[in-house]
Amino acid sequence: MNKWILGARPRTLPAAIAPVVVASALAGSEFNWFRAALALKVSLWLQIGVNFANDYSDGIKGTDTHRVGPTRLVASGLASARSVKHAAFLSFVIASIAGLWLAILTSPILIAVGVAAIAAAWSYTGGRRPYGYSGFGEVSVFIFFGVVATVGTFYVQTQRITLLSFIVAIPMGALSCAILTINNLRDRKQDALVGKKTLAVRMGDLAARRAFVALLVISHTAAIATFIPTALLTLAVAPLTFSLARQVMSGASGAALIPVLGKTGKLQLIFAAIFAIALAIQ
């Protein structure tokens, strides 16, 4: 596999795609394919930028030296720290261009939102006080890949924000957090050794596993809480949800959780696709 595709971490990209798909379906007759495409471009390139930025920051700090998960470019020597840093900046620039276009079409407020998103992306593991090293990663993911991505995509197409758009954002944010939780649960022991106090490290093994299951339950509950009858269709993925919960609670750890990460990403995509159909036909 091309090293740059590897560094972009394709398994994490559902977190960027799902909220745009769901929010676009919620827009209904106001759906605008061009603005939806721009929103998707922003979301995808921000996610890719985050991944490269994390690779760079963790690599130069040495926290990826004994990593259990997928290969990192800097830590493995596949790419120089400088080139990975440039890849992160380039990704942010691409996202910024699409975001600026949306701001011109809708509201300049989006510029401020975009600046905040990029700042959060970089400072997750970068800078002097990376908040990802203090256990706040899930909070940021829920805000930016849940609320901001979903409500923002809905707003750029409809020019309004509704309570329903916030409720719809909850399962998207929860599932994105579930992806991060599995990632951190997999690396919990190694992260603890290098002083990276992720939420999984702070909570401990069992509590982190229960948190993962809780996030899955919240996703289904929030979809039903829209009180849209067709949203019950999301229960079609309950068997996959149960299977993932069972694998995690069975005690799988380390490398055994790598397939679970991919399956959690697939769950988010399938959930989003069904949820989008449910919202479109309501």
Range of the domain at 71: 8-280
Identify the residue whose tokens are 């339950």. 217
Asked whether residue 155 is assigned to any structural domain, the reply reads: yes
Contact (CB, 8 A) for 7 and 84: yes
For residue 75, what pLDDT is reported?
Answer: 80
For residue 157, what pLDDT is reported?
Answer: 97
Q: Which residues contact 237 (CB under 8 A, 6 or more apart)?
A: 267, 270, 271, 274
Asked whether residue 45 is assigned to any structural domain, the reply reads: yes
For residue 236, what pLDDT is reported?
Answer: 96
* Per-residue pLDDT tens over the stretch 17-65: 999 999 999 999 999 999 999 999 999 999 999 999 998 988 887 776 6
Tokens for 180?
């991060």
Asked whether residue 2 is assigned to any structural domain, the reply reads: no
Largest separation between any pair of C-alpha atoms in the chain: 52
For residue 65, what pLDDT is reported?
Answer: 62
For residue 68, what pLDDT is reported?
Answer: 64
* Per-residue pLDDT tens over the stretch 54-100: 989 888 877 766 666 667 888 888 889 999 999 999 999 999 999 99
Chunked into runs of 10 residues, the chain (282 residues) has average pLDDT values of 83 91 96 97 95 89 67 84 94 96 96 95 87 90 95 96 96 95 90 86 94 97 95 96 95 87 92 96 85
Asked whether residue 1 is assigned to any structural domain, the reply reads: no
For residue 69, what pLDDT is reported?
Answer: 63
Asked whether residue 148 is assigned to any structural domain, the reply reads: yes
DSSP symbols for the chain: --HHHHHH-GGGTHHHHHHHHHHHHHTGGG--HHHHHHHHHHHHHHHHHHHHHHHHHHHHHTTTTT--SSPPHHHHTSS-HHHHHHHHHHHHHHHHHHHHHHHHHS-THHHHHHHHHHHHHHHTT-SSS-GGGGT-HHHHHHIIIIIIHHHHHHHHHHS---HHHHHHHHHHHHHHHHHHHHHHHHTHHHHHHTT---HHHHH-HHHHHHHHHHHHHHHHHHHHTT--GGGGGGGGGHHHHHHHHHHHHTT--GGGGHHHHHHHHHHHHHHHHHHHHHHH--
Asked whether residue 60 is assigned to any structural domain, the reply reads: yes
Asked whether residue 152 is assigned to any structural domain, the reply reads: yes
Contact (CB, 8 A) for 174 and 222: yes
Asked whether residue 3 is assigned to any structural domain, the reply reads: no
pTM, entire model: 0.92
Structurally, the chain folds into a number of domains equal to 1
